[in-house]
Amino acid sequence: MKKKLALLTFAVVIGLPTSAFANSQYVQYDPTFNEQQKQTWLAEQGLQEVRELKQDGFSLVEPLPHIDKADVEADLIPVSVVEKATDSAQLRQTYLDQSRIPTYWKYSRGKSDVRVAVIDDAIDVNHSEFKNVIYKTTTISGIRKPDDHGTHVAGIVAAAEDGKGTVGVASGVKLIGADVFDGDFASSIDIGDGVLYAISQGADVINLSLGQYEYDPYMEAAIKKAEAKNIVVVSAAGNDGRNKLLFPASMKSVIAVGSVGTLGRASTFSNYGRGLNIMAPGEGVYSTMVGNKYGYLDGTSMATPIVSGVIALAKSKNPFITNSTLRSKLYAAAAKKTGDTSLHYGTGRLNAGMLATIPSPVSKVSVPSVLKPNQPFALYFDEYSNAKTLTRLYKDGKIVKTFTNDYLRNGTHKYTYALKEAGTYKLVFATSSGRHTRVTERVITVK
């Protein structure tokens, strides 16, 4: 027997302001401005630069924390040489800056060995944003027909960084698509089978922008299998404004996502209650649509893949991190405001700054860069992977010394050694598990 599940698209909207005051204003500087002139003007306006935009001379700026909105000129144009920028598609993706995602792209734009499963209706795989992005898709139920909902969700996660249209939160990862809807209906069995398909295809993150109020053991069993394989499952809280989360968002191991608007307040439609974990932008979210088009949608369905994308970035940095550690770092970094309650905001609003707290598999490497022949040295490094790390020293492509080739305990490791011959050596740490490998290198010169 089929159960109708909420696709969680709250509404299609025809427009959205390009930015919310508290989060982003875009300015264009006169090309004659030097860095000092730019910084002087920003200081006079009580502003700070968040980041430069892709177009030269454009920046995203925001008020300094102690500056009140009323103290800043609304148009940000004190002289004629400064203008707002309005001609970039990314300016419509205000949710990126709202969650501070571009600021932390320096850690990763997403690795191609990381896969995010979108269990939804069918993705329009012919959309230009998904060229070389789709790893594999399948139809679990019904006749495959691309739909706006699944296409929109997929674009939020991984639309290509190709200089046009939109860009995904984790544009470098691959997508797995599982079409589980037959028209407006999906059975819990098909959704459970979609989860199992995602597991079989090597998903690292599973996005479920759907749900129902009834508990379902089949879906639960599939999700528990994903958790056992260290696959993060992210699900939508629901769009009925109720003090009750949809299932499977209500599962303890699932990251339950609610929606906030551009000013960070909980959306009136967003479900809340016990078990809500985190909030993300879910109003006026601009992304891909069927037929090589783009558009805005509202809903916790849209907030959910923003969180999934950030999780995919974290997995790209360290694919070996445990789910429990990843969730704790996600929740610890969430932005809180006075008056928030856990029932309405969970741990707070999504903040991609959590990426800064994700350790690389091998980090804090300490080794001298220059040595004398036969000079003993100490090698220190921190391991954080629960995977096998091969640590080798090479000279002219030949192995000089193997320090480790095993699963190491998490923490600091120390080794001592001395190099007899002059020359250039490469110290290589290769941490691997399954298809995932992350490499860290250091160069040592002996002279």
Give the pLDDT confidence of 364-405 residue by residue, as tens digits.
999 999 999 999 999 999 999 989 999 999 999 999 999 999
Angle, helices 188-200/217-228, rounded to nearest 10 degrees: 10
Higher pLDDT, 153 or 71: 153
Instruction: Write down the pLDDT at residue 6.
Output: 41
**pLDDT of 68 above 90:** no
Instruction: Write down the pLDDT at residue 268.
Output: 96
Average pLDDT over residues 139-148: 87
Instruction: Write down the pLDDT at residue 89.
Output: 57
Higher pLDDT, 35 or 85: 35
Domains defined along the chain, listed by start = 25-85 (3.30.70), 94-357 (3.40.50.200), 362-446 (2.60.40.730)
**pLDDT tier at 31 (50, 70, 90 boundaries)?**
low
**pLDDT of 42 above 90:** no
Question: What is the rounded distance in angstroms from the CA atom of residue 161 to the CA atom of residue 326?
Answer: 26
Instruction: Write down the pLDDT at residue 186.
Output: 83
**pLDDT of 17 above 50:** no
Question: What is the rounded distance in angstroms from the CA atom of residue 45 to the CA atom of residue 395?
Answer: 55
Quickly count: other Cβ atoms within 10 Å of residue 103's Cβ. 18
State pTM to two decimals: 0.81
Instruction: Write down the pLDDT at residue 348.
Output: 97
* Mean predicted lDDT score pLDDT of the chain: 86
Among residues 112, 44, 100, 96, which one has the least CA distance to residue 72? 44
State which of 163-172, 215-224, 253-262 shows the largest mean pLDDT.
253-262
Q: Where are the beta strands (DSSP E) in 140-200?
A: 174-179
Assign 48 to helix, strand or coil.
strand
Question: What is the rounded distance in angstroms from the CA atom of residue 200 to the CA atom of residue 217?
Answer: 20
Instruction: Write down the pLDDT at residue 67.
Output: 40
Instruction: Write down the pLDDT at residue 86.
Output: 30
Would you name the residues annotated as active-site residues? 120, 149, 301
Higher pLDDT, 17 or 300: 300
The set of long-range contacts for 410-414, using a CB threshold of 8 Å and a minimum separation of 24, is 410/383, 410/384, 410/385, 410/386, 411/382, 411/383, 412/364, 412/380, 412/381, 412/382, 412/383, 413/380, 413/381, 413/382, 413/383, 414/378, 414/379, 414/380
Instruction: Write down the pLDDT at residue 28.
Output: 66
Percent of the chain with pLDDT over 90: 73
User: Which stretches of 242-355 are DSSP H helices?
Assistant: 300-317, 323-333, 342-345
Peptide bond into 63 cis (omega under 30): no
User: Which stretches of 24-80 are DSSP H helices?
Assistant: 35-45
Question: What is the rounded distance in angstroms from the CA atom of residue 389 to the CA atom of residue 320?
Answer: 11
Cβ neighbourhood burial of 359 (10 Å; 0-12, 13-18, 19+): middle
Average pLDDT over residues 50-70: 58
**pLDDT tier at 30 (50, 70, 90 boundaries)?**
low
**pLDDT of 25 above 80:** no
**pLDDT of 275 above 60:** yes
Q: What are phi and psi of 186, to 5 degrees?
A: -145, 135
Average pLDDT over residues 197-223: 94
Instruction: Write down the pLDDT at residue 35.
Output: 78
**Tens of pLDDT, residues 90-103:** 678 999 999 999 99
Dmax over CA atoms of the chain, in Å, equals: 76
Percent of the chain with pLDDT over 70: 84
**Tens of pLDDT, residues 50-59:** 766 644 566 6
Instruction: Write down the pLDDT at residue 107.
Output: 92
**pLDDT of 173 above 90:** yes
What residue type is 381 in one-letter code?
F
Average pLDDT over residues 266-291: 96
Higher pLDDT, 257 or 61: 257
Instruction: Write down the pLDDT at residue 246.
Output: 95
**pLDDT tier at 71 (50, 70, 90 boundaries)?**
very low
Average pLDDT over residues 217-243: 95
Which range among 182-196, 261-275, 432-446 shows the weakest confidence by mean pLDDT? 182-196
Instruction: Write down the pLDDT at residue 230.
Output: 97
